[in-house]
Structure 1
Amino acid sequence: MKLLLTSAGVRNPSIRAALDDLLGRPVADCTALCIPTALYGHPWVGPGLNAWNFITGTTDHMTGIGWKSVGVLELTALPSIPQERWVPLVRETDVLLAAGGDALYLAYWMRRSGLADLLPSLDDSVYVGMSGGSMVMTPRVGEEFVGWTAPDGDDVTTLGVVDFSMFPHLDNPELPDNTQAAAERWAARLGGPAYAVDDETAFVVDGGVVDVVSEGTWRKLA
């Protein structure tokens, strides 16, 4: 599966060009499924208006960029329905769009729903994440980004599809704690490859190769 891991969606021409390259054809010819699940687990965003805005493309640079069609894939519902009801739909869809929110909550439901097991077989699909929807693909998020813990005590580490961690929304004025100094402290505790990226930056992962696409600020942290 090809990945476009963004901090804040497809919000500038460079990230859009990277998406077009991954797709291999225009957005207008591609079908998408949006995954709002991560929103529900985050203490600041939760269900309600934010989920509606994401699904309808009202505020986020994800679902409203001109797809041929957009459907909803709600992971918390999938364990209660037969896999033959949703697995063929995912396989035939071009793009999965994962909302921001709580990465650990999203990882938990990716595993419980079976989507995590399905992802490696989706060779021709593109996964586009935003914030927590991107961080779920990393090995770990760090204690600064833990807002939810599993009620049954299950291990809800993130998926580790990529080998680096991600500190999103660097220097965002609405998130005054997301500073370069805070990112350096975060990375020092992780003990693995890590990047701090602002909202104009994204990672492109294709065939095991990772590239950074940016019209803003990013830094690889020791």
Structure 2
Amino acid sequence: MKLLLTSAGISNPSIHAALVELLGKPVAEANALFIPTAIYALPNGGDLARRVITGALGDPFCDMGWKSLGLLELTALPSIQRELWVPLLEQTDALLVGGGDCQYLCHWMRQTGLADLLPTLLRKTVYVGLSAGSMVLTSWGTTYGRHGLPVGGDKSLGLLDFAIHPHLDHEWFPDNSLANLEQLAATLPMPSYLIDDQTAIKVSDGAVDVVSEGHWKKFIPSHRFIPSPP
């Protein structure tokens, strides 16, 4: 698998370089598909999706000068024949999966069959996650409970054996202080990466690397901390 799991998008040159390395070519020569589904479980989700697509919200993600950019809305796929959308996935270089609610995204990934396609698809396609779009591949996800799905439903696909906690110390998320995220990570059985918006996790052929121009910590269940280098 080739994954670039970001907190907020392609926020600095180091993360951009990691993306180009995974793609094996410049962004301007790569085709991308954007999945906005997770954001619809948030208040005003439709407008938030528009702002992410146009680059009016957050760091560069959709608006990076891709050779082409398509939109793949998971909630529409059950009513569309698979031969109309599966080839789009197979032909894309980068699958951009936006943020929002993990449980809502996970539900629709399973409901559409996308979850089953990912292990094969990601042998050649680069998965680029943003916030919940990153968390959904891991062993832990969160939910905001505004989608009507069962409270006990799956919040992540569990394709990776660690957790990601994005938006470390972000002013928009006052509960995401280092102390609070450490407390949360201490309740989980798997290792956790606590990452700010200048940090991403790169996964390539099983190797996991942190790409950062900001701050991060890795929390091990034994309560040992591995801090980011000075």
TM over 0.5: yes
For 2:168, what is the secondary structure of its paired residue?
A: coil
Aligned equivalent of 1:125: 125
Instruction: Show structure 1 runs of 5+ residues with no match.
Output: none
Partners of 2:55 and 2:70 in 1: how far apart?
12
Partners of 1:54 and 1:102 in 2: how far apart?
15
Q: Which amino acid aligns with 1:107?
A: C
Q: Indicate if the aligned counterparts of 1:55 and 1:72 stay in contact, CA closer than 8 A.
A: no
2:33 pairs with 1:33: yes
Deviation (angstroms), 1:162: 1.2
Partners of 1:203 and 1:168 in 2: how far apart?
11
- Which of 155, 174, 179 does residue 157 from structure 1 map onto? 155
Structure 1 segments of 4+ aligned residues over 3 angstroms from their partners: 149-155
For 1:11, what is the secondary structure of its paired residue?
A: coil
- Which of 134, 144, 147 does residue 144 from structure 2 map onto? 147
- Which of 184, 187, 192 does residue 190 from structure 2 map onto? 192
Offset from partner CA, 1:132-166 (integer Å, 9 cap, x none): 1100011112xxx3213653677323111111101
Deviation (angstroms), 1:80: 1.1
Number of residue pairs aligned between Structure 1 and Structure 2: 217
What is the TM-score when the length of structure 1 is the normalising length? 0.93
1:82-161 equivalence runs, <5 A: 82-122=81-121, 123-141=123-141, 145-148=142-145, 151=149, 155-161=153-159
Q: Indicate if the aligned counterparts of 1:58 and 1:64 stay in contact, CA closer than 8 A.
A: no
Aligned equivalent of 1:75: 74
Of the structure 1 ranges 53-62 and 72-81, higher mean CA displacement relative to structure 2 is found in: 53-62
Partners of 1:165 and 1:182 in 2: how far apart?
15
Offset from partner CA, 1:89-138 (integer Å, 9 cap, x none): 11001111011111111011001011111111111100100101100011
Q: Indicate if the aligned counterparts of 2:34 and 2:72 stay in contact, CA closer than 8 A.
A: yes
Q: Which amino acid aligns with 2:172?
A: E
Partners of 2:9 and 2:171 in 1: how far apart?
17
Identity of aligned residues (%): 53
Partners of 1:167 and 1:81 in 2: how far apart?
34
Aligned equivalent of 1:208: 206
Offset from partner CA, 1:35-75 (integer Å, 9 cap, x none): 00000123xx4422101112223323100011001010000
Partners of 2:61 and 2:178 in 1: how far apart?
26
For 1:48, what is the secondary structure of its paired residue?
A: helix
For 2:187, what is the secondary structure of its paired residue?
A: helix
Partners of 2:78 and 2:44 in 1: how far apart?
21
Aligned equivalent of 2:4: 4
For 1:159, what is the secondary structure of its paired residue?
A: coil
- Which of 171, 174, 177 does residue 175 from structure 2 map onto? 177
Q: Indicate if the aligned counterparts of 2:39 and 2:48 stay in contact, CA closer than 8 A.
A: yes
Q: Which amino acid aligns with 1:33?
A: L
Partners of 1:219 and 1:151 in 2: how far apart?
32
Partners of 1:63 and 1:199 in 2: how far apart?
16
Aligned-residue CA RMSD in angstroms? 1.5
Aligned equivalent of 1:51: 49
Of the structure 1 ranges 169-178 and 52-61, higher mean CA displacement relative to structure 2 is found in: 52-61
Partners of 2:118 and 2:94 in 1: how far apart?
12
